[in-house]
Amino acid sequence: QKEVEQDPGPLSVPEGAIVSLNCTYSNSAFQYFMWYRQYSRKGPELLMYTYSSGNKEDGRFTAQVDKSSKYISLFIRDSQPSDSATYLCAMSLGYNKLIFGAGTRLAVHP
Amino acid sequence: GAVVSQHPSRVICKSGTSVKIECRSLDFQATTMFWYRQFPKKSLMLMATSNEGSKATYEQGVEKDKFLINHASLTLSTLTVTSAHPEDSSFYICSAISGTGGLTEAFFGQGTRLTVV
């Protein structure tokens, strides 16, 4: 079993839709949870970072962590074509080693 | 955010040759740099962690004699793929953090696409 599971998609949605991206994990010791966005042939960029269970909102993005279920989500409201990218979840035990999910390819069409 | 520059962005080399990839932190001092490898439609796999002035720590299964990492200064780390073979073709990405930063301060380079022919 992989430490972090993420559906690779692709996920195709119309502009304006709410997008839900998810990851599950097996290691209950993970403390830090992050979401990265990666455009084609580019390095990842940090979108959201959460530490505890609950929700964290930043503009159109909401990150949700449920440690009891070992499940994290990223919601994108009012999705735009510019949101089309691969979204990677990442987790850490706290000493700088990040474990990434496989990434979900998202396409938002006009 | 801080800028991490990776060079070259794309390289094609012949089988058996060596290729050097540079990762530079442009506006901060990076005490720790990470090197990842990413296959198409796959996740980033950590290859090694390098701290300035010390030997890199390689992940299990990564050949340290094949993937030479040097972190000689606080702004530069290099990854040299020695005696490259077609199976080394991949997307290599570095990230860097400063001494005062944590995981949220890990900034990624733009990646290097290596093709070995």
DSSP labels for B25-61? ESSS-EEEEEEEEE-TTS-EEEEEEEETTSPPEEPTT
CA B79 – CA B65 distance, rounded (Å): 11
pLDDT at B107: 86
Give me the pLDDT at residue B87, please: 94
Check pLDDT > 70 for residue B102: no
Q: Does A95 touch chain B (CB under 8 A)?
A: no
Per-residue pLDDT tens over the stretch A17-36: 999 999 999 999 888 899 99
- For the beta carbon of residue A68, count every other beta carbon within 10 angstroms: 8
Low-confidence ranges of chain A (pLDDT < 70): 1, 94-96
Q: Which of B9, B11, B49 is nearest to B32 (CA)?
A: B49
Q: Is the pLDDT assigned to residue B89 strictly greater than 90?
A: yes
Note whether A42 contacts B: Cβ–Cβ < 8 A.
yes
Q: What is the pLDDT of residue B67?
A: 97
Sign of CA dihedral B24, B29, B33, B38: negative
- Distance (Å, whole) CA A28 – CA B114: 36
DSSP B16: T
pLDDT band at B1 (very low <50, low <70, confident <90, very high): low
| pLDDT tens digits, one per residue of B40-82 | 877 889 999 998 888 899 999 999 999 999 988 889 999 999 9
Chain B contacts to A (CB-CB under 8 A)? 1, 4, 6, 9, 32, 34, 41-46, 49, 91, 93, 95, 97, 102-104, 106-111, 113
Given a cut of 60, is residue B101 above it in pLDDT?
no
